[in-house]
């Protein structure tokens, strides 16, 4: 028994492993450089009229080599860091105790708020919530998930650049055969190539956002009151279950207006943030914006309530932002409903 206590004390005294905040940044920089090297090798192999099987191998070879080297040196450290984070996470019992008797873990189950429950306000669309674990309501994330955005970006970028690439290869082959660059054809292809580069850049950004969301894991936002009321108050609790802790967490209550304009046969939609109210500031937090985060906020008395009409819409969200590894930005919006007072 004494030996077990000694081992436990030594394990608790052992400092948790750390992962450099620049490790993820170096990963993206290294992978980007490896991609450029692969594209250069593939282009050189194409100009040298190398065998067909060598061109794709030269294109993906540097990326695969980089992933193998980076994974073999960093993956064990990430796994150990994740185990330590799970072991040091607060227990469900302590979170339930902090919720003052609310939520599923505290023994109170809240009814779901469904879209047809409008409380007598026909223009207020009440978003659906789930029963929370520590507070009464758990909010759903608004918008398209990061994984879906990345998948769509990869599909459109591959489709566009695949078609444009055929014409570019044919143009290079023709120029090599004649020894003269057809500038008219080059100018004609330039806009399509630029669009392809923009799609590649957007795909890289979407991939970064997806990887950041995977590193952060699931971020749950729970509130004690929903729907919110103009001038009313509610408690909020934010928890995380993921590999890397989210730091410098800011929470905002954001109001967005969407207006649809019809001119003849054309239709356009404009979207603009018309209000942004601070809920939690890491500079004013004693923990510096770490998770779990629990605080109370109030909807301004002069705020516009949620509104849903054919050509105009007012939406409210709780926006959570933060930093992963000190450098990678994180952001997610969670839909809420604000009813008239």
Report domain extents, the chain. 17-88, 91-138+218-339, 142-216
CATH of 91-138+218-339, one of 2.60.40.640, 2.40.10.10, 2.60.40.790, 3.10.270.10: 2.60.40.640
Q: Which of 83-87, 192-196, 235-239 has the lowest mean pLDDT?
A: 83-87
pLDDT in tens, 208-225: 888 888 888 889 999 998
pLDDT in tens, 1-24: 444 444 444 444 444 444 444 556
- Mean residue pLDDT of the chain comes to 77
Q: State what percent of residues in the chain have pLDDT above 70.
A: 75
For tokens 């490896």, the residue is 34
pLDDT in tens, 114-162: 444 445 555 677 888 888 888 889 998 888 888 888 888 888 888 888 8
């Amino acid at each position: 028994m004494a030996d077990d206590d000694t081992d436990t004390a030594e394990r608790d005294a052992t400092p948790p492993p750390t992962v450099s905040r620049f490790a993820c940044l170096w990963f993206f920089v290294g992978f980007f450089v490896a991609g450029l090297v692969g594209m250069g090798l593939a282009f050189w192999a194409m100009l040298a009229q190398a065998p067909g099987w060598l061109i794709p191998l030269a294109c993906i070879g540097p990326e695969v080599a980089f992933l193998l080297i980076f994974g073999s040196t960093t993956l064990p450290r990430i796994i150990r860091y994740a185990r330590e984070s799970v072991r040091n996470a607060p227990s469900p019992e302590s979170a339930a105790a902090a919720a003052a008797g609310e939520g599923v873990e505290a023994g109170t189950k809240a009814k779901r708020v469904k879209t047809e429950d409008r409380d007598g306000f026909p223009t207020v669309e009440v978003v659906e919530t789930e029963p929370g674990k520590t507070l009464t309501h758990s909010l759903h994330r608004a918008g398209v998930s990061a994984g879906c955005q990345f998948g769509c970006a990869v599909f459109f970028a591959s489709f566009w650049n695949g078609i444009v690439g055929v014409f570019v290869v044919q143009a290079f082959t023709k120029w090599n055969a004649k020894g003269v660059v057809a500038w008219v054809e080059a100018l004609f292809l330039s806009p399509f190539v630029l669009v392809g580069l923009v799609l590649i850049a957007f795909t890289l950004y979407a991939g970064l956002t997806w990887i950041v969301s995977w590193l952060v894991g699931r971020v749950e936002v729970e509130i004690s009151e929903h729907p919110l009321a103009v001038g009313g108050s509610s408690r909020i609790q934010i928890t995380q279950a993921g590999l890397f802790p989210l730091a410098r967490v800011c929470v905002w209550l954001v109001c967005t207006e969407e207006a649809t304009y019809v001119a003849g046969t054309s239709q356009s939609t404009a979207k603009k943030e018309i209000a942004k109210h601070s809920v939690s500031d890491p500079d004013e937090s004693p923990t510096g914006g770490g998770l779990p985060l629990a605080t109370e906020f109030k909807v301004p008395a002069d705020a516009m309530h949620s509104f849903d009409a054919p050509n105009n819409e007012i939406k409210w969200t709780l926006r959570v932002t933060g930093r992963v590894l000190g450098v990678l930005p994180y952001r997610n919006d969670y839909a809420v409903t604000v009813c008239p007072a």
